[in-house]
Amino acid sequence: MKQHDTEVEKTEARKTKKKRANTNTLCWMNGNQCPPEDATLSIFDHGVLYGDGIFEGIRFYNRKPLLINDHIERLFASANSIEITIPYTAAELIGAMTDLSEKASFSDGYIRLVVTRGIGPIGLNPIGCGPANVFIIATELTMMPAQAVRDGINTIIATTRRVSSSALDPRIKSLNYLNNILAKQEANKANVDEAILLNDQNNVAEAVAENIFIVHRGKLLTPPCDEGALNGITRKTILALAQESEIAYDIQSIPEATLLAADEVFLTGTGAELIPVRSINETLIPQCPGPIFTKLQRLYADFIQQQS
């Protein structure tokens, strides 16, 4: 009995520790706000079994979600692409995310909106699954240490190749990130901050969780989506800011050799915002942070302030 009591006490202690770790995180699941420890899914949900689902990552600043309509539009486009019916309207999801950002104990944070296929029989066939589960997490987020953001990050070119766009449309923001995780493991083993993925034509696709930009011969370049790049919302914003400020840019293929010859390299993403790259495969980038990055970073910060 004493041994059993000890095991029960240990279990309760683990639960208490878990609850304390999530005190600043807010959750909403299938229509209701709930404590993080109560936001659970069945092990028979195909999102758990097969990564069958979609998601969006959204920043909020001054308690206001940034570019929320763009994110919701992409979420529903992803859902339509893989034939998941989201059981909430766009307005309902926007209302739930806005409510969480207003209730958070921090004014700036990150929202993860996830839709899974739902419970179904074992097997890849999605017939018979559902209804879809929808949950939202509002939490604090630091993608990179402040010094890395200020001075630039070290990267490698991963041996893992980006899944071909002919096999999987990169515009679908699905839950299956194994391809990216394998590249991240390479970065971890190389003791660097991030990995850059090439496609099967040896052209640049994206980083593990960010889009990539380079400055080459005075022009800002980023890969097209059909070469494996996610149609990133921050990417789209940076291109719009470049156009408004008359920075010459192009969306085009970037061979590995061009990447390594770039004057500036930086990454963009909702979570990452803008991050300069200091080195690739231990080769230093000539300008880090460079003048075009610095200008765009300032313009993006102004854009955030205007939106919030």
Identify whether residues 154 and 265 lie together within a single domain. Answer: yes
Q: pLDDT at residue 136 above 80?
A: yes
Identify whether residues 25 and 125 lie together within a single domain. Answer: yes
Q: pLDDT at residue 261 above 90?
A: yes
User: Pick the residue with more confidence: 49 or 168?
Assistant: 49
Identify whether residues 224 and 76 lie together within a single domain. Answer: no
Out of 109, 139, 169, a domain closes at: 139
Tell me what pLDDT residue 12 has: 53
Got the DSSP string for the chain?
A: -HHHHHHHHHHHHHHHHHHHHTTT-EEEETTEEE-GGG----TTBHHHHH--EEEEEEEEETTEETTHHHHHHHHHHHHHHTT---SS-HHHHHHHHHHHHHHSSSSSEEEEEEEE--B--SSS--TT--SPEEEEEEE---SS-HHHHHH-EEEEE-SSPPPPTTTS-TTS-BS--HHHHHHHHHHHHTT-SEEEEE-TTSBEEEESSSEEEEEETTEEEE--GGGT----HHHHHHHHHHHHTT--EEE---BHHHHHT-SEEEEEETTTEEEEEEEETTEEPSSTT-HHHHHHHHHHHHHHHHH-
Identify whether residues 132 and 161 lie together within a single domain. Answer: no
Is 173 an active-site residue? Answer: yes
User: Phi/psi at 235 (nearest 5 deg)?
Assistant: -55, -50
Identify whether residues 38 and 151 lie together within a single domain. Answer: no
Tell me what pLDDT residue 150 has: 86
Parallel, antiparallel, or unpaired: how do β-strands 249-251 and 264-269 relate?
unpaired
Identify whether residues 191 and 134 lie together within a single domain. Answer: no
Identify whether residues 98 and 192 lie together within a single domain. Answer: no
Q: pLDDT at residue 237 above 50?
A: yes
Q: What is the pLDDT of residues 168-208, one digit of tens each?
A: 888 899 999 999 999 999 999 999 999 999 999 999 999 99
Q: pLDDT at residue 76 above 90?
A: yes
**pLDDT confidence tier of residue 133, bands split at 50, 70 and 90:** very high
- Percentage of the chain surpassing pLDDT 90? 85
What's the chain's average pLDDT? 92
Tell me what pLDDT residue 24 has: 87
Identify whether residues 291 and 164 lie together within a single domain. Answer: yes
Domain that residue 232 falls in: 146-307
Identify whether residues 186 and 291 lie together within a single domain. Answer: yes
CATH code of the domain covering residue 97 = 3.30.470.10
Q: pLDDT at residue 17 above 90?
A: no
Q: Which of 173, 184, 189, 295 is catalytic?
A: 173
Out of 82, 106, 139, a domain closes at: 139
Whole-model pTM: value is: 0.90
Out of 107, 139, 171, a domain closes at: 139
Measured CA to CA, the distance from residue 237 to residue 169 in angstroms comes to: 21
Identify whether residues 60 and 165 lie together within a single domain. Answer: no
Q: pLDDT at residue 15 above 60?
A: no
Identify whether residues 60 and 164 lie together within a single domain. Answer: no
CATH code of the domain covering residue 259 = 3.20.10.10
Tell me what pLDDT residue 16 has: 47
Q: How many domains is the chain partitioned into structurally?
A: 2
Mean pLDDT of 138-167: 90
Q: How far is it between the farthest Cα atoms of the chain?
A: 75
Identify whether residues 48 and 171 lie together within a single domain. Answer: no
